[in-house]
Chains A and B, each alone.
Chain A
Amino acid sequence: MEERKELKVTAIKNGTVIDHIPAQSVFQVIHMLGLNECENQILFGTNLESKKYGKKGLIKVNNRYFDHDTVNKIALVAPTATLIEIKNYKVIGKKNIVIPDHVSKFVKCVNPNCITNHEDVITKFKVIDKKDVKLQCRYCEKTTAKDNFTFI
């Protein structure tokens, strides 16, 4: 009989599995994707064992698939993440996540005097450093680094 590994986070029938999230970024990803306000069934785990990374986080979202732009945003806080789409308990697709060149409606600009923090302006950034994840505001041109991300 085939030996089956015990899953720490139960399998889902339909939906998306985001795996290999750096353990410390799980809640950021949840926030970023708006999962804290999502009605769907969501399972997540963090500080799970990972052969590759030591500790990792994992999120499974029932009955939901993410578009390209959303997927790429995940890369900004969790560059190692992998994304798997499930239908009827079967993997139907894997999406590669790539750090985008531009992002909008993602985080707030770190500059308290930036117009985007005072008027109803959608934030837009250019990704100027993909390794350390630094974003340059389209409006005030100040740099917002990963440590200062406040998600909208």
Chain B
Amino acid sequence: MKNRSLVSISDYTIDEQLKILKLAAEFEKNPRQKILEKYVVASLFFEPSTRTRLSFESAASQLSAKIIGFSEAGSSSVSKGETLKDTILTVSNYSDIIVMRHPREGSAKYADEVAPVPIINAGDGAHQHPTQTLLDMYSIMKTQGRLDNLNITFVGDLKYGRTVHSLVMALCQFNTTFHLVSPTELKLPSYVKQHIKDKNLTYHQYTEMNEVIPLVDILYMTRIQKERFSDPIEYERVKDAYILRLPMLESAKENMKVLHPLPRVNEIDEDVDSSPQAYYFQQARNGVYVRMALLASILGVV
């Protein structure tokens, strides 16, 4: 995968995705390696995303790469009116790879077209966030020992959640049975459901999560944002129905794990943190190993 940008998860074949996951497992065993000592990683965050940025920078630091960049557009020449193209071309002179987060959809693809160095998309508007998808896949694989034939539940805002859409698409490659729990207003968009149908897979839709908990291997929680509702009364009515509380996990299978892309607000009760099913902080940690695997593969050192 040397010099291959990662803009969209579909830029990599299934085999390549699995190769990254395998490599991430190697880095998890031995995370501190001086293999990127000679490389400079540019981390360009045109909009703030502390979690993703720190995860990438931690991955690069643990492999001894040098990091340059900015954490918001205000502290870069963007605030002086520089175009994305000029920023990318300039920074390409200073670095071997660019990790970028940008508020506009399609910005990563465009950057990839103009940049002589490879690009890793760390989120472009509501479009794609492929490293999140890979770290979710890694977390599922690690906790279940496989990606095939699993029952996976998504809970919360399934309409606007880019994370959910990308992960559902990726899991369609692995004979997944989907359980979709959301308020009626926030159901999974039909084009994503069509994708599931095209692969001859099954999905079940629910408005309540209790009945589905005993059935599943992964419970993927997401945040429901108030601003997504046209009717605030409707929000008040549904918001508590999508909060995971410790007693609800009594009926869960032993292997079941709770994932969440973080940050959470109140959709997972803090009591759940101590349960054996809670996996979201480990999931965030897995993001570092996956990003190490990506940096090392794209820079061609592994």
Which A residues fall within an 8 A CB radius of B?
109, 111, 113-116, 118-121, 137-142
Contact = CB atoms under 8 A, between A and B. Distances in A.
Contacts of A137: 106
B13 to A, nearest CB: 19
B85 A111 contact: no
A130 B71 CA distance: 43
Contacts of B84: 115, 119
A115 B83 contact: no
Contacts of B106: 109, 114-116, 137-141
Given A114-B104, A114-B105, A115-B107, A141 B127 contact: yes
Contacts of B8: 141
Contacts of A116: 106, 110
Given A140-B105, A142-B105, A115 B110 contact: yes
Nearest to B7: A139
B302 interface: no
A139 B125 contact: no
A99 B216 CA distance: 47
Interface of B: 8, 83-85, 102-107, 109-110, 124-127
A120 B103 CA distance: 16
Nearest to A116: B106
Given A120-B83, A140-B125, A140-B127, A113 B109 contact: no
A119 B81 CA distance: 11
Contact of A118 (B104, B109, B126, B127): B104
Contact of A121 (B110, B124, B125, B127): B110
Contacts of B110: 115-116, 119, 121, 139
26 contacts: A109-B106, A113-B125, A113-B126, A114-B104, A114-B106, A115-B84, A115-B104, A115-B105, A115-B107, A115-B110, A115-B124, A116-B110, A119-B83, A119-B104, A119-B110, A120-B83, A120-B85, A137-B106, A138-B106, A138-B109, A139-B105, A139-B110, A140-B106, A140-B125, A141-B8, A141-B106
Interface centre among A119, A138, A139 (most CB of B within 10 A): A139
Given A113-B104, A116-B106, A119-B110, 9 more contacts: A113-B125, A113-B126, A115-B84, A115-B104, A115-B105, A115-B109, A115-B124, A119-B84, A120-B85
